[in-house]
């Protein structure tokens, strides 16, 4: 078969497949162009889920009349001139492919008016030669795309139902809206208005505007570690999230799908969410442009970090610290008095005080108050930590101390219409441990009942005790001072061949957590000592369960560092009081007090909630005392 040079038209249609997958791809490219043009208002109109018509109107800088034909030339862009600039690219688009790709598979009209210049209109399509004429219109641009894939029936038949395509477009716009809370954004589908977002002060307000209060209480976090900025919001563990809720990730203001960041989020939530459940996080990561490659995916939906391990560790650490510090910070907020009403929000800044001289980090220290970069696409999270006088040199610090432009840029870009906002009230559990819980009794020998002045609290006694024991065991393990008791009569356990091999590989790990185990034959092992907290535990059952979990970890490719944690998880679970165990009033009181002092007290190590609250208002509503 002879080698041929493809025609420009065929090249364009093939290349369009990399950029234009569905109507949502067109909407994304056009809205990103508007954002790069400095637009503060963008209006999107769709027909037939975007298959019939897409129209995007903005108030950006506009395109000069003489440059309008170049807008549809492949690889023509105003954002890049030299190869060296690619490493420092900060705009959402830069390849100069979007309009050319769209025009290869749809009829396109572009009208644009620059400030103080001549406006014009371009019409072009798969079978329509490019034509330009002068027009007068308001400053900004309007791009209309009609009959997507009409001349490419093979591609069109792979599009989904109108509702499905509309949902994809809506999801993409929602991501961009969260990245730019200062933006005025509307979306209409035929005569129906689906989005009408005014400029908001930050991501939290924008999220509430898009999702309402369905996500429940949210924690806000923001911290910079060694030049890596991490900010966002996270739903409380155990929140009743919609099934469709998923993490939203942004890198330097760009919405992305990234396995590295997703894994870091899941690692931060380990023991806080049940297996196979997805935590909800909106995460913004900011790094120097040269530290991330945004040119690794045709649709720019993925990125590659220069130091992925460092980014992973920073993200996991900040999110985990936020979750870990919330209980204690919420207690302080409630004790100090919080405002009533409004959407629930608890704030956290990585769980670290700037005066914490003992802060440990794997990265070089930086002086508080210094920063070597300024974020171009701020998430505009509200609130911020106040500077602490006499702060020592630390490697970690809250955003609010040094990256004030991060928060202020979003507000300033929104104009006078941005609400000033105020302090957010604490979440619904914020005062849970701010006052003493009064024990009321035990229900079905499984749940503890208590009151705290604001309602009724039900505690799962096994889940709560498991959380308490895990942190005691972990603290002893980290100090290297596990309290071990020798067995008066060593216990022998016989395992099957696979279990025996696995145990031999991990004997040092078991000994490291306080279990003195020695081989006693081909498949028999002797247990001579256990941690003191493992009183009354069926050691054979524990050993087999622990080995089952270790086999799962190996199958998932988990690192060796996860082994000790898993052994402690299983140890705490097997040692905790069980459902059906009777607890005397002093035992109930002691368990509630210990839970109050435990880090991350709201879930057990399997991610199940340790407690639920029924507010007095809810009880009164059930009894029809409130109408």
Tens of pLDDT, residues 99-126: 888 888 899 999 999 998 899 999 998 8
φ, ψ of residue 214 in degrees (nearest 5): -65, -25
Please identify, among 374, 397, 412, the residue that sits at the C-terminal boundary of a domain.
412
Position 318 in a domain: yes
Distance between CA atoms of 613 and 606, rounded to whole angstroms? 20
Of the ranges 15-19, 456-460, 556-560, the best mean pLDDT one: 456-460
Taking each helix axis from N to C terminus, what angle separates 162-179 and 23-36, rounded to the nearest 10 degrees? 20
Same-domain pairing of 548 and 496: yes
pLDDT at 47 over 90: yes
The distance in angstroms from the start CA to the end CA of the chain is: 81
Distance between CA atoms of 350 and 224, rounded to whole angstroms? 9
Position 303 in a domain: yes
Same-domain pairing of 279 and 394: yes
CA angle, corner 57, sides to 56 and 59, nearest 5?
145
Mean pLDDT along residues 453-479: 91
**CATH number of the domain to which 83 belongs:** 3.30.565.10
According to DSSP, the β-strands at 41-47 and 184-189 are parallel
Same-domain pairing of 183 and 250: no
What integer pLDDT is reported at residue 216 of this predicted model? 66
Distance between CA atoms of 291 and 318, rounded to whole angstroms? 19
Same-domain pairing of 35 and 117: yes
Same-domain pairing of 292 and 156: no
**CATH number of the domain to which 262 belongs:** 3.30.230.10
CB 505 within 8 A of CB 554: no
SS3 544: helix
What are the distances in angstroms from CA 173 to CA 405, 429, 486? 25, 32, 62
Position 205 in a domain: no
Please identify, among 355, 379, 412, the residue that sits at the C-terminal boundary of a domain.
412
Shortest CA distance to 223 belongs to which of 328, 320, 122, 108?
A: 320
Alpha-carbon Rg for the chain in angstroms: 29
pLDDT at 6 over 90: no
Same-domain pairing of 248 and 190: no
Domain count, the chain: 3
Mean pLDDT along residues 413-431: 37
Report residue 323's pLDDT band, with 50, 70 and 90 as the boundaries.
Answer: confident
Position 115 in a domain: yes
Position 177 in a domain: yes
Same-domain pairing of 170 and 319: no
CB 271 within 8 A of CB 607: yes
CB 188 within 8 A of CB 46: yes
Question: What does the pLDDT look like over 484-531, one tens digit per residue?
Answer: 999 999 999 999 988 999 999 999 999 999 999 999 988 999 999 999
Between 213 and 44, name the one with better pLDDT: 44
Same-domain pairing of 170 and 222: no
Q: Which residues contact 8 (CB under 8 A, 6 or more apart)?
A: none
pLDDT at 142 over 90: yes
DSSP letters for 2-20: ---PPPHHHHHHHHHHHH-
**CATH number of the domain to which 500 belongs:** 3.30.1540.20
Residue % of the chain over a pLDDT of 90: 35
- Domain hosting 157: range is 8-197
Same-domain pairing of 162 and 21: yes
Dihedral (Cα; 429, 431, 433, 437), 10-degree rounding: -100
Position 288 in a domain: yes
Position 45 in a domain: yes
């Amino acid at each position: 078969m002879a080698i041929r040079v493809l025609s420009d038209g065929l090249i364009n249609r093939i290349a369009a497949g990399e950029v234009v997958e569905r109507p949502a791809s067109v909407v994304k490219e056009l809205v990103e162009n508007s954002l790069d043009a400095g637009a503060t208002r963008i209006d999107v109109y769709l027909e037939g889920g975007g298959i019939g018509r897409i129209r995007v109107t903005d108030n950006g800088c506009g395109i000069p009349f003489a440059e309008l034909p170049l807008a549809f030339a492949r690889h023509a862009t105003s954002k890049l001139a030299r190869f060296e600039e690619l490493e420092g690219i900060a705009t959402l688009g830069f390849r100069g492919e979007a309009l050319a790709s769209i025009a290869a598979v749809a009829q396109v009209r572009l009208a644009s008016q620059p400030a103080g210049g001549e406006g014009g209109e371009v019409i072009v399509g798969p079978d329509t030669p490019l034509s330009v004429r002068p027009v007068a219109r308001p400053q900004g641009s309007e791009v209309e795309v009609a009959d997507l894939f009409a001349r490419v029936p093979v591609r069109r038949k792979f599009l989904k139902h109108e509702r499905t395509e509309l949902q994809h477009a809506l999801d993409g716009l929602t991501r961009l809206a969260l990245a730019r809370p200062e933006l005025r954004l509307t979306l209409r589908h035929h005569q129906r208005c689906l989005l009408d977002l005014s400029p908001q002060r930050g991501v939290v307000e924008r999220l509430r505007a898009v999702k309402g209060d369905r996500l429940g209480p949210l924690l806000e976090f923001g911290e910079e570690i060694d030049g890596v900025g991490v900010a966002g919001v996270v739903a409380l563990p155990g929140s009743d999230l919609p099934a469709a809720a998923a993490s939203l990730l942004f890198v330097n203001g760009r919405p992305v799908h990234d396995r590295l960041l997703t894994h870091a989020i899941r690692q931060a939530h380990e023991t806080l969410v049940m297996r196979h459940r997805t935590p909800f996080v909106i995460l913004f990561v900011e790094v120097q442009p040269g530290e991330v490659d945004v040119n690794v995916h045709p649709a720019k939906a993925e990125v590659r970090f220069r130091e992925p391990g460092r980014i992973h560790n920073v993200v996991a650490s900040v999110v985990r610290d936020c979750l870990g510090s919330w209980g204690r910070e919420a207690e302080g907020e409630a004790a100090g008095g919080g405002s009533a009403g409004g959407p629930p929000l608890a704030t956290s800044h990585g769980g670290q005080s700037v005066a914490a001289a003992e802060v440990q980090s794997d990265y070089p220290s930086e002086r508080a108050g210094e920063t070597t970069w300024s974020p171009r696409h701020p998430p505009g999270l509200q609130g911020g930590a106040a500077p602490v006088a006499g702060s020592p040199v630390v490697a970690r610090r809250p955003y609010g101390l040094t990256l004030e432009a991060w928060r202020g840029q979003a507000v300033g870009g929104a104009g006078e219409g941005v609400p000033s906002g105020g302090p957010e009230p604490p979440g619904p559990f914020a005062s849970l441990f701010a006052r003493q819980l009064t024990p009321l009794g035990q229900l079905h020998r499984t749940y503890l009942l208590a009151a705290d002045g604001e309602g009724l609290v039900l505690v799962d006694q096994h889940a709560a005790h498991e959380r308490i024991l895990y942190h005691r065991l972990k603290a002893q393990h980290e100090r290297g001072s596990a309290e071990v008791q020798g067995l008066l009569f060593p216990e022998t356990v016989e395992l099957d061949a696979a279990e025996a091999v696995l145990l031999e590989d991990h004997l040092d790990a078991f000994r490291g957590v306080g279990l003195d185990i020695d081989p006693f034959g081909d498949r028999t092992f002797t247990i001579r000592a256990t941690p003191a907290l493992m009183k009354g535990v069926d050691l054979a059952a524990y050993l087999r369960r622990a080995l089952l979990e270790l086999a799962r970890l190996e199958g998932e490719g988990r690192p060796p560092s996860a082994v000790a944690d898993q052994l402690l998880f299983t140890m705490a679970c097997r040692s905790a009081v069980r459902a059906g165990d009777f607890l005397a009033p002093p035992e109930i009181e002691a368990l509630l007090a210990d839970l109050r002092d435990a880090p991350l007290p709201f879930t057990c190590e399997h991610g199940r909630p340790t407690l639920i609250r029924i507010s007095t208002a809810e009880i009164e509503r059930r009894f029809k005392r409130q109408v």
